Chains A and B, each alone.
Chain A
């Protein structure tokens, strides 16, 4: 399941070198994958081959186990959410009609579309009563992109393709949209392919990053691995030097905790959870003068321990 690229090549007729040069990748279902690389390295081309806006020159792509060429193109696309840079909304349609595009193509009954529209707008924190009847140009850039995300998720696709969706949005709004998207992805477990040339955005959002250079994948790894073990000088330069403190931001409790409940560590009332990042845990250790914390699940039941030693050992790797 997920998305599998096998020896994928894209050769445009008017260029010498292929834009995508024999790429093979396996992406798991529910992963947040970021394609990162300088402009012109082939990110968009690779992305658009997934919903067949471009056809592969050779090689195969499978989405959830199905070769995309075995499905009717329109049908394939209706099952894959697609978000482009701002301006992707249709200006002649209201917000609700924009969101309803794919459900209408899929001939959903109107009541179901109506209910889904409210649900989606609430999901992206836009009040349905205020925004349903508005036109895109009556919304700010950030709000438009929220609608863009809601629209892409309208028919509940497993896979979302996003091509620099926040590229034209100011830094503060972008950061809140990133948080929002991250939250939704954790909640809904969509497989997301997200293109960007912004390193910080990639490090912030990705479960794994595909770093591309001249049509090839030069590294496919977690943000932490990319920062700590860049595959070549190009990537080292790209991600720059990141200090230890920032590195902790790319690691979560689940990456280092031990499943034992050491007795000497008091099961403090406010333990940490698996998804807390280590920067936060480290801050608490310093502020609260504890060398360890209990790890608790969502029911506040203790499932393990995280210690200062384990953090330091991981960072030293």
Chain B
């Protein structure tokens, strides 16, 4: 513990590196998962094949996935992010599908009956109603990325995992504890932040 308090200047760069890695991976993952989830929620025939492929990726242990990727993309941040994005897909896509399909069909009927076009129904009804559920998915995905991101340090992605890795190599317990505690704090902090955002976006309850 003392390492964390004595050398915050040495922990912080790892912390920010971890945040950047998480954030970038999350953004890329969302760019894929939001449209993909929306499309398979609408075209149900695609749903089973897409979710089973994502499910298979999700069950591959992270180290094994990285081992398989290294011959193609090498060591470093790129490989790490490919892995993180792939893991997040399962969580995000499933949530987007659940969010869209969980919308009360009466809502869509009311919107149609009032004369909204297909486009207007998507942007004025479906998207806003899906947001709270999707946000919950983003929260879970973020926390997963933070924790799996630790493993990514082993293939040279940097971040807090690297601090733990150093500690293990040099038998430096202080570094191991500092890395672990900071990761936990980051995960809890991210969870809390998203819970607040969810609260803001969900329709207020009385």
Contacts and interface: CB of A to CB of B under 8 A. Distances in A.
Interface of A: 51, 53, 74-79, 82, 84-85, 87-92, 101-102, 105, 135-138, 151, 161
B199 to A, nearest CB: 14
B129 interface: yes
A90 B204 contact: no
B128 A92 contact: yes
Given A74-B115, A90-B111, A138-B204, 7 more contacts: A82-B114, A88-B106, A90-B125, A105-B114, A137-B203, A137-B205, A151-B114
A46 to B, nearest CB: 15
Contacts, number: 59
Given A135-B204, A138-B206, A77 B113 contact: yes
A105 B128 contact: no
A138 B203 CA distance: 10
Nearest to A136: B203
Contact of B107 (A53, A90, A102, A138): A90
Interface residues of B, number: 20
A74 B109 contact: no
B113 A84 contact: yes
A53 B107 CA distance: 13
Given A53-B109, A92-B129, A105 B203 contact: no
Contacts of B113: 51, 53, 77, 82, 84, 161
Nearest to A87: B106
Nearest to B132: A92
Contact of A90 (B110, B115, B117, B120): B110
A101 B111 CA distance: 9
Given A92-B203, A137-B206, A78 B109 contact: no
Per CB-CB distance, the 7 closest pairs between chain A and chain B, nearest first, are A78-B115, A77-B115, A82-B113, A138-B206, A91-B203, A92-B128, A88-B110
A161 B114 CA distance: 11
Contacts of A136: 203
Contacts of A53: 109, 112-113
**Most A C-beta atoms less than 10 A away, residue of B106, B113, B204:** B113
22 contacts: A53-B112, A74-B116, A74-B117, A77-B113, A77-B114, A78-B114, A84-B106, A84-B109, A84-B110, A84-B113, A90-B110, A91-B129, A91-B203, A92-B129, A101-B116, A102-B115, A105-B120, A135-B204, A136-B203, A137-B203, A137-B204, A138-B204
A74 B205 CA distance: 32
B104 interface: yes
Contacts of A84: 106, 109-110, 113
A119 to B, nearest CB: 19
Nearest to B113: A82
Contacts of A77: 112-115
Contacts of B107: 87, 90
Interface in B35-77: none
A84 B113 CA distance: 9
A92 B123 CA distance: 12
Contacts of A74: 115-117
Contacts of A138: 204, 206
Contacts of B117: 74
**Most B C-beta atoms less than 10 A away, residue of A92, A101, A135, A161:** A92
Contacts of A78: 114-115
B5 to A, nearest CB: 45
Contacts of B120: 105
Contacts of B115: 74-79, 102, 105
**Most A C-beta atoms less than 10 A away, residue of B111, B115, B129, B206:** B115
A144 B129 CA distance: 19
Contacts of A92: 128-129, 203
B121 to A, nearest CB: 11
A79 B115 CA distance: 8
Given A87-B104, A87-B106, A92-B128, A101 B203 contact: no
Nearest to B205: A137
A111 B120 CA distance: 22
A82 B114 CA distance: 7
A136 B110 CA distance: 15
